[in-house]
Structure 1
Amino acid sequence: MPRVILCLMDSVGIGGAPDAEAFGDTGANTVGHIAEACAAGDGDREGLRSGSLRVPNLDAMGLGAAVNLSVGQTPPGLTTTPKGGRFGVGREVSKGKDTPSGHWEIAGVPVPFEWGYFPKTEPTFPDELVNEMLTRAGLEGILGNKHASGTTIIAELGEEHIRTGKPICYTSIDSVFQIAAHEEHFGLQRLYDLCEIAFELTEPLKIGRVIARPFVGENPETFKRTGNRRDFAIPPPEPTLLDRASGAGHQVYAVGKISDIYAGRGVTHKIKASGLMSLFNATLDAMEMAADGALIFTNFVDFDSEFGHRRDVPGYADALEQFDGRLPELISRMRDDDLLVVTADHGNDPTWEGTDHTREQVPILVFSPALAPGEIGIRNSFADIGESIAHWLGLGAGQHGRSFL
């Protein structure tokens, strides 16, 4: 019985979203601009990488061809001649450019409502929300209370947090309420408990996620976020591919933050991992354990969190090359009827202004020893990905999307 390995390269967009102008992202192209920067020497970093972007395995699956299909231009170092599998472009119909919207739609459930967002003011959070959270948690106050980059605000306020015991609360352009706190001085479980309170208070506002951002260290030079992040998320409004698969008796392996994104629904095996290579190793481990008919779903978050939001072109390019270098290892472990799907949930162009996601189309790269190569075109919904996976696993058709297999 076939299995599916779904690798989501978080934020690896390929430009060209028709509604990008509405998001202020006209012209954004994560892969294309990284490749152009590398070709121009702007992707070099001593001791890390240099020269043109080198992703031969992704290109063989159709990455260059997908970018060309998306924007009509092939990035430097890539080609339009894939060597196997099927390639195409995914176009999102959900109204956000955030993590839940992209993931839910990929799993067959476009987001039917507008998310709530916090304004770009200081302070940014409503007084009644903050006061109720403080009362219920027994805290004296919070720090931050603004839009900010997570690593930057921890460096800015981490020492004051340790001294006062006040958690660092911040948001971004996404529908999110984030709380950073020191694992030892504040306590990890205490942080989780605080986030549960915040989630209860923000859910009526349609805030998609409350994220616990634990860190360690004693000063800005040593502060470092840990792998104990936890997302408290609004559940999808209807059954996703994960629910449908597990409900039919299939194993569903959620690697990385996948379980949190779907509020744990439809997950039979949750595997924690932090860091690009650890996530890849965990995916390979899941392949070893997975029974016939299993779905293995991994979010490779580092592209987004470590390099996209930080506007780090060399780091992003290096991460793409590292991921690419492991693909032959994964493909060599596939059974004859296994299906590999490599895609993304949105863009996060590291050459773009600001620090936020970019509204982009995404690559859809599909490979199986049992699948003839070809082009699947531009798909009008990410839900086509979920429906194609459902078809491969022998599940019934869902309400949204259409299989390209």
Structure 2
Amino acid sequence: MAKAVILVLDSFGIGSAPDADRFGDVGANTLASIAREFSKQKGRSLALPNLASLGLIKAARQASTDPITVADASQIAGAYGYAAELSSGKDTPSGHWEIAGVPVLFEWGYFHNKTDSFPAELIEKLCAETGVTGVLGNCHASGTEILKKLGDEHIRTGKPICYTSADSVFQVAAHEEHFGLEKLLEFCQVARRLLDEYNIGRVIARPFLGDAPDNYARTGNRRDYSVLPPAPTVLDKLTASGGEVISIGKIADIYAHQGISQSLKATGLAALLDTTLAQMQTAADRSLIFTNLVDFDQNFGHRRDPIGYGEALEYFDQRLPEFLSALDDDTLLVLTADHGCDPTWPGTEHTREYIPVLCYTKQMADIELGERASFADIGQTLASYFSLDAMDYGESFLPQLIKN
């Protein structure tokens, strides 16, 4: 019987996608930029030997001509390729839904104005239904910078901090002790309902702690409130067939808890990896363990910290042998991403990039998957792997894995 593990290295792009010009992202390359800055600032190359042995560097060099100052492996134990995004946006739900076989082919709603971003009638309804006296922010902002700017006023007035970005998102920051975590989550649930008519993809609760601008910090109690995917994902098909989908991190939130059997939260890269390893020891046959490693994106990509990003990648790489050793003979490991977030690119937004597609089983060695036309190839491959009905999008690369 088959089992699978997907590790999403959130935001780990490997080169500008073919349509990057539509997004102003021609030249963005998350991996190459991290490696370049690492060499420049730390005086040594980024060390990713275990990822390289799964074919990461070969895939990255096929995806882009940008120089990548990371040593390649002499032997490849795995299958490697790179995928372009079919979805209309470069946001988290679109990337994850497409991974699960359902690309987003419609346009999300967005709040384009950099200031006074939200319609007055929306704020009026939100305040009336939640009882708050008003909101702060109402702008495009970095989630960490806005805490420094408005955290004190939020505590003094009790008004939640509401902000957005280039993504289809409505974010709400509030202090866990002064405002209250439950009150924040209830506020976000009301916002989720009101934002449906604006076709906004996610509402994100961003609780924080601290007592001064220099130590305000977001906590691990983040919650994402997403709309439902527009069609059944491979997660839905697997659970409907009697299989199990184990969500670790924010996966369940991204899929609006649809197609999820069990949802486990963990804060920080180490804890997310530990939780995944623990589930690998006990998961039943026909199980899919699906983990999002959010730290790469929220702690380093958006904060434009290439050195921190590189150090987190090295930590992940050092832990990777634990995952390879923990695999059963019938378990497929997939490493991928949901979009890019080049930490050297202007601004603080995601970047439209190819994502890596790395696969490993104990019987696999040096399989080139090449360029994939859609992230949905992963979902279609999983549908084939679990003997499910085919997805509407994507081309399975399972025959290449089996053939070799």
C-alpha RMSD of matched pairs (Å): 1.1
1:203 offset after TM fit, Å?
Answer: 1.2
Q: TM-score, normalised by structure 2?
A: 0.97
Q: Which residue of 2 aligns with 1:64?
A: 57
Q: Provide the C-alpha distance between the structure 2 equivalents of 1:30 and 1:63, rounded to a whole number of angstroms.
A: 13
Q: Which residue of 1 aligns with 2:352?
A: 359
Q: Provide the C-alpha distance between the structure 1 equivalents of 2:35 and 2:119, rounded to a whole number of angstroms.
A: 42
Q: Provide the C-alpha distance between the structure 1 equivalents of 2:115 and 2:52, rounded to a whole number of angstroms.
A: 45
Is 1:385 the equivalent of 2:358? no
> Which stretch of structure 1 is more off in the superposition, 370-379 or 223-232?
370-379
Q: Which residue of 2 aligns with 1:20?
A: 20
Q: Which residue of 1 aligns with 2:87?
A: 94
- 8 Å CA contact 1:62–1:87 kept in 2: the answer is yes
1:74 offset after TM fit, Å?
Answer: 5.1
Q: Which residue of 2 aligns with 1:7?
A: 7
Is 1:127 the equivalent of 2:120? yes
Paired letter, 2:9:
M
Paired letter, 2:64:
V
Paired letter, 2:235:
L
SS at match of 2:172: strand
Is 1:345 the equivalent of 2:345? no
- 8 Å CA contact 1:65–1:81 kept in 2: the answer is no
1:73 offset after TM fit, Å?
Answer: 4.6
Paired letter, 2:113:
K
Percent identical pairs in the alignment equals 53
- 8 Å CA contact 1:64–1:74 kept in 2: the answer is no
1:390 offset after TM fit, Å?
Answer: 1.9
SS at match of 1:88: strand
Q: TM-score, normalised by structure 1?
A: 0.96
- 8 Å CA contact 2:16–2:25 kept in 1: the answer is no
Query: Between Structure 1 and Structure 2, how many residues are aligned?
Result: 398
1:184 offset after TM fit, Å?
Answer: 1.0
Q: Which residue of 1 aligns with 2:31?
A: 31
1:78 offset after TM fit, Å?
Answer: 2.9
- 8 Å CA contact 1:89–1:377 kept in 2: the answer is yes
Paired letter, 2:321:
P
Q: 291, 294, 300: which is aligned to 1:301?
A: 294
Q: Provide the C-alpha distance between the structure 1 equivalents of 2:106 and 2:86, rounded to a whole number of angstroms.
A: 11
> Which stretch of structure 1 is more off in the superposition, 79-88 or 238-247?
79-88
Q: How does 1:258-277 map to 2 (within 5 A)?
A: 258-277=251-270
Is 1:250 the equivalent of 2:243? yes
Q: Which residue of 2 aligns with 1:231?
A: 224
> Which stretch of structure 1 is more off in the superposition, 378-387 or 116-125?
116-125
Q: Provide the C-alpha distance between the structure 2 equivalents of 1:189 and 1:330, rounded to a whole number of angstroms.
A: 36
- 8 Å CA contact 1:344–1:363 kept in 2: the answer is yes
Q: Provide the C-alpha distance between the structure 1 equivalents of 2:133 and 2:101, rounded to a whole number of angstroms.
A: 43
Q: Provide the C-alpha distance between the structure 1 equivalents of 2:159 and 2:392, rounded to a whole number of angstroms.
A: 46
Q: Provide the C-alpha distance between the structure 1 equivalents of 2:33 and 2:75, rounded to a whole number of angstroms.
A: 20
- 8 Å CA contact 2:49–2:73 kept in 1: the answer is no
1:170 offset after TM fit, Å?
Answer: 0.3
Is 1:399 the equivalent of 2:392? yes
Q: Provide the C-alpha distance between the structure 2 equivalents of 1:81 and 1:115, rounded to a whole number of angstroms.
A: 44
Q: Deviations over 1:109-145 (max 9, x none)?
A: 0112100110233211100000110011111111111
Q: Which residue of 2 aligns with 1:218?
A: 211
Q: 1:262 to 1:359 in 2, by over 3 A?
A: same
1:284 offset after TM fit, Å?
Answer: 0.5
Q: Which residue of 2 aligns with 1:373?
A: 366
Paired letter, 1:29:
N
Q: Deviations over 1:246-289 (max 9, x none)?
A: 11111110000000000000100100011111100111011122
SS at match of 2:272: helix
1:177 offset after TM fit, Å?
Answer: 0.2
> Which stretch of structure 1 is more off in the superposition, 114-123 or 388-397?
388-397
Q: 1:262 to 1:28 in 2, by over 3 A?
A: same
- 8 Å CA contact 1:3–1:292 kept in 2: the answer is yes
Q: Provide the C-alpha distance between the structure 2 equivalents of 1:105 and 1:327, rounded to a whole number of angstroms.
A: 25
1:82 offset after TM fit, Å?
Answer: 4.8
Structure 2: give runs of 5+ residues left out of the alignment. Answer: 399-404
- 8 Å CA contact 1:169–1:177 kept in 2: the answer is yes
